[in-house]
Amino acid sequence: MLEANGLASWFKEEQQKTENWYLASSNPYQQSGWGSTPARWRCVREVILTAVNKNGSFLDVGCANGLLLESLIQWASEQKIQLIPYGIDISSRLIELACQRLPDFTNNFAIANALYWRSTTQYDFIHTLLEYVPSQLHSDYIQQLFNTVKQGGRLIISSYSNRSRQQQTFDVVQYLKQLGYPVAGNASTQEEDGWILTRVAWIEKR
Ligand SMILES: C[S@@+](CC[C@H](N)C(=O)[O-])C[C@H]1O[C@@H](n2cnc3c(N)ncnc32)[C@H](O)[C@@H]1O
């Protein structure tokens, strides 16, 4: 699985599955992997802002069509927090859409595989999901992204559930602790019946 050819095909298959679904529609929510309503989108994604405690640069790793960035900028501004969006994605077609969505920030987007991407700059906030890389590489992946966080900044890791597929979130806090990372904070959002929609945890660079 972890030899170079195996990894390359793993990424290729994941990218293919993503593009087949995301790009099958011009609906911006679907182009970010979201199959429900805008109101529910806010319900499941706004919790990420719990980790955002100041103005600054916000890099979304796996930014798809940039909808999460656009939404977070809007929701943060309602709290008088100004975010500058940055994004990378493995799919050139999704990065193209992200640039169309956020035309004032086209220089802030790049096509890249998050596992191999190395940045020359650092960011106040970096957000990612862990499913972008095989689990054996999670620890290295987190460390590499953490290196790219500015002093006083945060690496934010989310896990989303998918109720129709009965896929639960994973316990991000416990997972990070097991990998040896000190968790600075966490948040979650849930349905009325207790089904957890999103879990978020973050590590801070002090
Ligand atoms: C579920 S969407 C996330 C969109 C948004 N960040 C959010 O949290 O709502 C996942 C995105 O990650 C991208 N992605 C998956 N694996 C990646 C990798 N190894 N490197 C960069 N992008 C990746 C996919 O192309 C897809 O656009």
**What residue segments make up the domains of the chain, in order of their start?**
40-204
* pLDDT at 2 exceeding the cut of 90: no
pLDDT band at 3 (very low <50, low <70, confident <90, very high): confident
Helix/strand/coil for 200? strand
- Report the 10 Å Cβ neighbour count for 26: 8
Q: Which listed CATH number (3.40.50.150, 3.40.50.620, 3.40.30.10, 3.20.20.80) goes with 40-204?
A: 3.40.50.150
pLDDT at position 1, please? 52
> Which are the contacts of 3, defined by CB distance < 8 A and separation ≥ 6?
none
Task: Answer whether 68 contacts ligand 1 (Cβ < 6 A).
Answer: yes
Distance 150 CA to ligand 1 centre (A): 22
Distance between CA atoms of 48 and 73, rounded to whole angstroms?
A: 12
Q: Whose CA is nearest to atom 11 of ligand 1?
A: 62
pLDDT at position 4, please? 86
Average of per-residue pLDDT values in the chain: 97
> Which are the contacts of 120, defined by CB distance < 8 A and separation ≥ 6?
none
* pLDDT at 116 exceeding the cut of 80: yes
- How far, CA to CA in Å, does 174 sit from each of 43, 140, 170, 201? 23, 17, 9, 10
Q: What is the mean pLDDT of residues 61-89?
A: 98
